[in-house]
Chains A and B, each alone.
Chain A
Amino acid sequence: MSRRYAHDDASVVVVIGSGAGGGTLANELAQKGIDVVCLEAGKRLTLADIENHPPTMFARMGWLDRRIGPMVWNGKTVGGTTMFWSGITPRIQEHEFRALSTYGQLDAGTTLIDWPLTLAELEPYYDKAEDKMGVSGTHGIPASAETNNYKVLKAGAARVGYQEITSTRTAINPVARNGRPGCQQIGFCNSGCAIGAKWSTLYTEVPAAELTGHFELRTECMATRINHNKTGKVTGVVYVDAAGATHEQKARAVCVAGNTVETTRLLLNSESAMFPAGLGNSSGNVGRHYTRHTFGIALAVMPGEVNFHRGTRQSGIVLDEQYHKPERGFAGGYIIETLSIAPFDVSNIVGGWGQHNAAFMNNYTKLAGVFITGEDPPEAGNRISLHASEKDQHGLPVPVIAYRDHANTTAMREHALKMSKAIYDSLGASHFHGGDIPVGAHNMGVARMSKNADDGVTNRWGQAHDVPNLFVSDGSLFSTSAAANPTLTIVALAIRQADHIAERMQHQTL
């Protein structure tokens, strides 16, 4: 039963955002009997609202408010980006938690650090996250069914000598589990899963939290500012509701999980005499070290029908290249993951017009595809900031995104696309397209965890170095990007953070 809390009830924890980080954290806290108010900027959809057409659903669930700079892809809907994600859930590797120690500082522009926690510390939480999300190949859950597109990848990857080819590590139910059905292979999972087989906080964490009686979700409520008292502790969150009315929800602690751009904007916009550069930003690191993974897309026209529109977008991965092997000419590694996309996206990604584009479009049913995700070193210049004068519909400064690929990222992409071409060529592909996709879908690093307060924004628990009762609870926490798709780690960190917050509250230190 959903609770209702008074605006002046200062005993609640306010969680901003209901996606992988916020939705999970809110539920974990509520399960422990901690009262939570969750502010979500978007609407609450039902499964019946999900159409199997990504452009339609991006218009319905995506964050479309004005931003300046390269596109960042995130949700504005209950469930946040867990509505769009593809469900792939590898863990970060041990050496990736020690990025600086392992790779060294790549050059004067990079800002690598080691994570202030280890894989060993996070492993129990990875375990809980995988169980919660229903990750294939873990906790007795079978492997994902092998789609045509995965079978092409598997055959080609074997031919080029890859060994670690697996149809596991996907948070889409292969069979019914925990009240959610098995995958029906509807396809284009990034328009949202119409049956709820893919894990999303919309139909897992959020309703589970409501059942505790310790949780209130306020939808279409845009947080605009976090207030604090004279001692520097946060006291409440100002937000604008659907009707345009402004409120302040008092709070015992505040957890920010708005995805990198909005998390940055909220912290920077909460500047005050005590925190003139923005809340939690005495080190100047809020919004900096923004990483979004080495991305790449490869598409190939195969000799026979693939019909990659049939079935899950992600049904398997190749892990052989995820390791740090500097002899390849770059630091860190990457993962090769199946990808299927609708006709417009194929045409757009291949680019151009005329026969060049038509070579792929005339063979849509013969296309196979993969997506590359790999480590992307942080740079101080890759950052999110606020425009000095431009304002949005709430009167908030418009976010400005600055991002460029590091040479390491470019070299990694080049290698990954060369290997992808070899995979498809080994099976007789007639046309190949390999390229970048200039969109930030895996957004990380703008409030990163650091051992030293000068190097980041938050400590090993995601607690702001500057403000004891302010937490960050989304991908902004990542000290470095690693290669793995970020959602599993966001969820594991949120479960761990909930334990920490509960313990601190129990000991009266929060």
Chain B
Amino acid sequence: MNEVQTTRRRFLAASLVFSSIAVAAETWLRGAAAWAGTRDPATLARFGRLLFPLDGLADAVYVQVMDRVLMSLVSMQPGDDVLMITEQSLNSQQAGNWFDLDAAAQIRAIENIQHEAHFAAVLSAVRDTFYNDPAVWAHMRYPGSSKEFGGYVQRGFDDINWLPEGRS
């Protein structure tokens, strides 16, 4: 992480702590009327799981990832707030709030907006953070860097055992 990113992260971490009480209260008052607008990672984690549903991956990992996604999106100006625009776009697909729909209806609504630029930007940000996260890697049984362990020359680079014998 470079210096600018570190500084931004510290700033954001502080902002999140100070704003969390206000956000919680606001969420309670408004229900989930503005689910993305809450910037609450736990709420957004449900959105993250719909995008990248890994079997058996704990909610806590999605929460942690969405927290980091928010940090990656925070520098955007209000007019460019792709998360907010995505929320508005999803809510406009039906009479009720998108967040209150069942999963099948939520997926249908996402399918309707999946080619829109703001959704592509959100998807890209979530994908980048999610699939570069060591906790997600561990769940997928990709252990990350191998150079510290001497690579795989002695650890199974050629251990495949299910291929049919010979050429057929």
Q: Do A and B come from one complex?
A: yes
Residues of A within 8 A of B144 (CB): 52-53
* Segment at the A interface, from B36-44, B75-83, B146-154: B146-154
Residues of B within 8 A of A365 (CB): 140-142
Render B131-149 as a binary contact track against A, CB cut-off 8 A, 1 for contact. 1100011001110111100
Q: How distant is A84 from chain B, measured CB to nearest CB, in Å?
A: 16
Cβ–Cβ contact A147 & B158, under 8 A: yes
Show 28 A/B contacts (Cβ-Cβ < 8 Å), sorted by A: A52-B145, A53-B144, A55-B132, A146-B158, A148-B157, A152-B160, A155-B163, A183-B151, A184-B153, A185-B157, A187-B151, A304-B163, A305-B160, A307-B159, A309-B142, A310-B146, A311-B151, A311-B153, A342-B131, A344-B128, A344-B131, A347-B130, A354-B51, A361-B140, A362-B55, A364-B142, A365-B142, A427-B164
Per the bound structure, the CA–CA distance linking A342 and B162 in Å amounts to 23
Cβ–Cβ contact A51 & B156, under 8 A: no
Residues of A within 8 A of B140 (CB): 343, 361-362, 364-365
Interface of A is mostly: loop
Question: In the complex where A151-B158, A354-B50 touch, is A347 in contact with B127 (Cβ < 8 A)?
Answer: yes
- Beyond A145-B158, A361-B140, 6 additional contacts (C-beta under 8 Å) are A146-B158, A152-B160, A304-B161, A307-B156, A348-B131, A365-B142
Per the bound structure, the CA–CA distance linking A185 and B155 in Å amounts to 9
Cβ–Cβ contact B167 & A158, under 8 A: yes
Render A334-355 as a binary contact track against B, CB cut-off 8 A, 1 for contact. 0000000011101110001111
Residues of A within 8 A of B54 (CB): 358, 361-362
Instruction: Count how many chain B residues have C-beta atoms less than 8 Å from C-beta atoms of the other chain.
Output: 40
A357 at the interface (CB under 8 A from B): yes
Q: How distant is B48 from chain A, measured CB to nearest CB, in Å?
A: 10
Per the bound structure, the CA–CA distance linking A147 and B168 in Å amounts to 20
Chain A's closest residue to B159 (CB) is A148
Query: Would you list which residues of chain B between 28 and 54 have a CB under 8 Å from chain A?
Result: 50-54
Question: In the complex where A152-B163, A361-B140, A427-B164 touch, is A186 in contact with B146 (Cβ < 8 A)?
Answer: yes
Render B53-92 as a binary contact track against A, CB cut-off 8 A, 1 for contact. 1110000000000000000000000000000000000000
